[in-house]
Amino acid sequence: MAGLVEQAYEFADECHRGQKRVSGEPYIAHPLQTALFLVDLRLDVNTIVAALLHDVVEDCDVALDELASRFGTEVAKLVDGVTKLTKLDEQDHLYAESLRKMLVAMAEDIRVVLIKLADRLHNMRTLDVLPPEKRRRIAQETLDIYSPLAHRLGIWEIKWRLDDLAFFYLDEDRYHEISNMLAAKREERETYVGQVASRLREAMKVSNLTGEVVGRPKSIYSTYRKMERYAAQGKELSDIYDLYALRVLVDSKDDCYKTLGVIHQLWHPIPGQFDDYIANPKENMYQALHTTVICDGGSPLEVQIKTYELHEIAEYGVAAHWRYKEGRANDLRFEEKMTWLRQVLDWQREMAATDEFIESVKQDIFQDQVFVYTPKGAIVELTAGSTPIDFGYKIHTDLGHRCIGAKVNGRLVSLDTKLQNGDTVEVLASKLDRGPSLDWLNPNRGYVGSASARQKVRLWFRRQARSANIQRGRELLRRELRRLNQRLDDAEVLSLCNYDNMEELLANLGSGGITETQVGYRLAQARQEPLSPIVGGKPKLALSSPGSGISVLGVGDLLTRMAPCCNPIPGDSITGFVTRARGVTVHKQGCSNLANEDEPERIVHVDWGTTYELYPVRIRVTAYDRVGLLRDVTSAVSAEDVNIASVVTKEHPDGTVTMELTIYTKNLEQLGRLFAKLEGVRSIIDVTRDRSTIPLLTPN
């Protein structure tokens, strides 16, 4: 078989002779490096041959029939699965078609995507010769599509390399900052991990357990993602649980559980930080025990425990599994793992719109997953952020259409409840032949979290009578204009929404082809002449946005003041000093007053808080008066992290009340979510926006 690889290399070399890459090196270097990486994964001969030939059809006009006659139909089929369409990178519809083609081929033969991932990995390694804009576009595409795909297939060895390379080209300064930080702490980290690893080995030896105990390295991009999440929670880098991490490899699954017991006897486990992926494997075939313990010196330590075979599958995913399945007549477990792809492709065939297809692939295939249970105990995999409605559609389309309520863990919940790992979900269905609500398509309402469920709702509305959709769309457009306090004629609406025909716009809006939020963004771009600032003979007060403060990491927001001795300004490197009566005083780093401080424990790490530009907006709420109405309204506003500057209420003889709220919001997206929440408050009739004295808010 080695002769076949040699023949493939010589044929590829002949086909690409005279061709150069943008870097100036001979083109044959690219398929050769792609094939060599797959050799490292120890894939079969046909996969290596296909990797060497994967560009000859596209770049050298070699017919697939010729490849089939020279190297066999299996190789030709693999090459066809990998071959890209001409100029697919520049045209969205061709990109979507190529992606669809790759996924269909992948459902038939997983080796197609392994070649594609190796191809992308080598392209990323040589990206520096391309223009900056193209580098950024390819790097973003890698983070959006190829890296999550490698994760989905469990190929960590490819995923972390793609992540770090893409991050380098998207944010080089941040990449170097984190890289230098990890390098600076490497010696300290390796010393600490070496000590705890040695202690664990001794404890395992006493329990007659043999295995390999090593430190687990952190990739730069995964560290960046964790830092971002922790910073949003007001935590420091030292709070990242798996900054110190061990990997333990043993001979059997029984030894995994025995090793877990040894670890928990040795160190105290942190509640809520244990996962058993051996008993409940991830959909990408990953199996291991994860636990986090408070280790020597009070530092959290994450430990992964696997067998040697499970570790190889964790590193190489389906590539390793492909090797294990060779020679077996059937591998039902492997086939089950690929059903997620085939199911997605089944309903995607009904799609006509390119953007819907790409959205569904990115969301339902490439995003994180949650695993929930049916009332009978069957496991159902859903996209992270899914709701009971998504669960209903995952079970059966008709069940989703008839969903009127849900129970999670035996308790009634609202339909916009986000499902968590381990939840038991029961959908309450109407006995009548009813359909979904159009509100389910409004992203601000949060009823549907997966692209597949959203597509099924859209298809239901598209199949309804056109006249009903037009009437429904007209009501939605009126509501959106009223909400934005806009007075626009049909011509202006059509121009802003990029439509030529009002009926077509209304039909699409009524069927869910476009959402209220999308229409609202476009309508908000219409500028109106500012009205006089004098209303009722009294000048309106000018509004100002609240400023950002200082973030005291690890502690939360505290009272802060700028030190008069050094007067730091945003951008300066700063340090905090905890005073006895005036909160935290913020100094420049290197300030002489801190250098002579004899109580260093009162010096804390501080940072300039994340800066948001806030816009003042006045909204008017009309409702039937009742006890607790103001409380419910302000709670809804607070739930969206929106600050209220003022509230003015006015009662009317007919039992209704009008509230005028002045709020500070970041952008139209947040404002749209707020309107949706307020409209859901009991007894509210209408929510509109008053533009009389405040500048128009435009989308970011």
Tell which phi-psi region holds residue 146, choosing left (phi > 0), alpha (psi between -120 and 50) or beta. Answer: alpha
* Tens-digit pLDDT profile for residues 437-491: 888 988 878 899 887 888 888 888 877 767 788 888 888 888 788 777 677 888 8
* Tens-digit pLDDT profile for residues 194-245: 888 899 999 999 999 999 998 876 788 888 887 777 676 666 555 554 467 8
**Residues facing 307 on adjacent strands:** 250
Which among 44, 58, 97, 283 is annotated as catalytic?
58
Length, in residues, of the chain: 700
Q: Is the pLDDT of residue 601 over 80?
A: no
Tell me which of 186 and 259 has the higher pLDDT.
259
**Residues facing 371 on adjacent strands:** 381
Q: Is the pLDDT of residue 603 over 50?
A: yes
**Residues facing 603 on adjacent strands:** 577
Would you state the pLDDT for residue 407?
A: 93
- What amino acid occupies position 684? I
Would you state the pLDDT for residue 670?
A: 81
Q: What is the DSSP letter of 208?
A: T
* Tens-digit pLDDT profile for residues 70-82: 999 889 888 887 7
* Tens-digit pLDDT profile for residues 97-142: 555 555 555 556 777 878 888 888 998 988 888 888 889 988 988 8
- Catalytic residue status for 59: yes
Would you state the pLDDT for residue 359?
A: 53
Give percent of the chain with pLDDT exceeding 70.
Answer: 77
Which among 59, 171, 504, 632 is annotated as catalytic?
59
Name which of 152, 668, 103 is nearest 349 in CA terms: 103
Would you state the pLDDT for residue 349?
A: 44
* Tens-digit pLDDT profile for residues 531-583: 333 333 333 333 333 444 566 654 444 567 788 888 787 777 888 888 876 67
For residue 13, give the H/E element and its range.
Answer: helix 2-15
Whose tokens are 């002045």? That residue is: 662
For residue 586, give the H/E element and its range.
Answer: strand 584-588
Tell me which of 351 and 304 has the higher pLDDT.
304
> Cα separations (Å) of 45 from 5, 111, 161, 529?
7, 11, 24, 71
Read off φ and ψ for residue 690, nearest 5 degrees.
-100, 115
Name which of 528, 548, 541, 546 is nearest 695 in CA terms: 528
Q: Is the pLDDT of residue 294 over 70?
A: yes
Spatial separation of the C-alpha atoms in residues 377 and 44, rounded to whole Å = 39
* Tens-digit pLDDT profile for residues 393-431: 999 988 999 999 999 988 999 999 999 877 889 999 988
Give the confidence band of 325 by pLDDT, cuts at 50, 70, 90. Answer: very low
Tell me which of 99 and 343 has the higher pLDDT.
99
Would you state the pLDDT for residue 160?
A: 86
Helix axes 502-511, 451-462, angle to 10 degrees: 130
Tell me which of 24 and 153 has the higher pLDDT.
24
Would you state the pLDDT for residue 387?
A: 93
Classified as helix, coil or strand, 551 is strand
Whose tokens are 């080598």? That residue is: 122
**pTM for the whole thing?**
0.50
Spatial separation of the C-alpha atoms in residues 609 and 231, rounded to whole Å = 10
Per-residue b or e along 145-178, where b marks 16 or more CB atoms closer than 10 Å to that residue's CB: bbbbbbbbbbbbbbbbbbbbbbbbbbbeebbeeb
Spatial separation of the C-alpha atoms in residues 281 and 579, rounded to whole Å = 51
Assess contact for 369 and 381: CB atoms under 8 A: yes
Would you state the pLDDT for residue 216?
A: 73
Give percent of the chain with pLDDT exceeding 90.
Answer: 17
